[in-house]
Amino acid sequence: MTALYRSSLEVAHDDLREAWEREAKVLAQALRLVRPYTHRLGRIAFGSVLLLGVPAVLSGRLASASVQLSPTAVLAAIFPLAWTVGHLVRLATRTLWLRRVRTAQERNARQRQSLAVVSNPFPPLAEALAAPSLARQLLTSLRRTETAGVLLPIWGVCVWGPLALHLVAYTLTLLPSCAQGDFLSRIGAFDSWIGISLVMSGVAHLSLLVYGVWFVRQLKRRLPESMPSGFRPVYVVTAASTCPGIMLVPLMGLGFLPLAITFATGAVLLPWVFGRAQRLFFAERYLVGEVEGDLPGALQPRISPAV
């Protein structure tokens, strides 16, 4: 009986050592997932702030004159604000997750060093087998945020990006007037251009939102080499801008200038936006698959921890 009991303890010690060594490997893999997960949270925050700017402008325009928001002022502030919030979210979550993983690694190192003095291995073995894996938590969170991590930034940039490019171009044309001291008064005239853009290309902006949903679905179904051309959204938004833009062309005497502006703006912005989103998506998916393949399998103890 004594020999059998000692044999059970030795086997349990082996199981405990294997469990703690396995945990060390899992924690090493968890460190690899912290960066893509926190960067994705930063992108989600970035896109969310951009999208929240839309109701901010609309509510300001509908409010009384005393609290009215200038769309140009919101446009000038929205990208720096969204970038700052996104980076703060990324840094904060990165700090929290790194602290969790490194605390677990330090605890695991102490446990493996003290294995020789563990007289009863069954309680710590049961705890090691029941402890949730940080790597599995990160993998689950990455899967849950896969769509939002691509779609929200795309939506946000597609709403504000074209107007931001127009504001930069308009600001450059006003630089000569800086010496005259009327720059701030003249920059406010850009509000009218934003209103015209809503009428002329509102449907184009909506088409980009719908295309973004389709694009994310294609990312999940296709391989990188089978993805559509980066210029496809340019063609989509230009075609969508014909309604109601092309109907207003004869009334406003602008010819096909609105369509040319839409095409030129899309050609500068959209291939970069969708191309970057595609590269990030497949890079993160590849890393998740690689880490998941490197994770050790579940430990099957040879002696039940409940014995």
Q: Taking the CB of residue 10, how many other CB atoms lie within 10 A of it? A: 12
Q: What is the pTM of this model?
A: 0.80
- Predicted confidence at residue 132, as pLDDT, reads 61
| Spatial separation of the C-alpha atoms in residues 217 and 194, rounded to whole Å | 31
What's the DSSP call for residue 179?
G
Given pLDDT bands bounded at 50, 70 and 90, which one contains residue 129?
low
Domain borders along the chain are: 8-294
Rounded to 5°, the CA angle 39-43-48 comes to 145
Buried b (16+ CB within 10 A) or exposed e, 256-292: eebbebbbebbeebbbebbeebbebbeebbeebeebe
Given pLDDT bands bounded at 50, 70 and 90, which one contains residue 4?
very low
When pLDDT is averaged across residues 1-12 and rounded to a whole number, the result is: 57
- Predicted confidence at residue 117, as pLDDT, reads 62
- Predicted confidence at residue 112, as pLDDT, reads 74
Query: Is the per-residue pLDDT at 66 higher than 50?
Result: no
- What is the tens place of the pLDDT at every residue in 187-238? 666 777 777 777 677 788 888 899 999 999 999 888 877 787 788 999 888 8
Instruction: Tell me the CA distances in angstroms from 255 to 205, 242, 248, 298, one per residue in order.
Output: 21, 12, 9, 68
When pLDDT is averaged across residues 23-43 and rounded to a whole number, the result is: 88
What's the DSSP call for residue 176?
G
Given pLDDT bands bounded at 50, 70 and 90, which one contains residue 1?
very low
- Predicted confidence at residue 228, as pLDDT, reads 78
First to last CA, the chain: 15
- What is the tens place of the pLDDT at every residue in 84-114? 999 999 999 999 999 988 888 888 787 777 7
Query: Is the per-residue pLDDT at 2 higher than 50?
Result: no
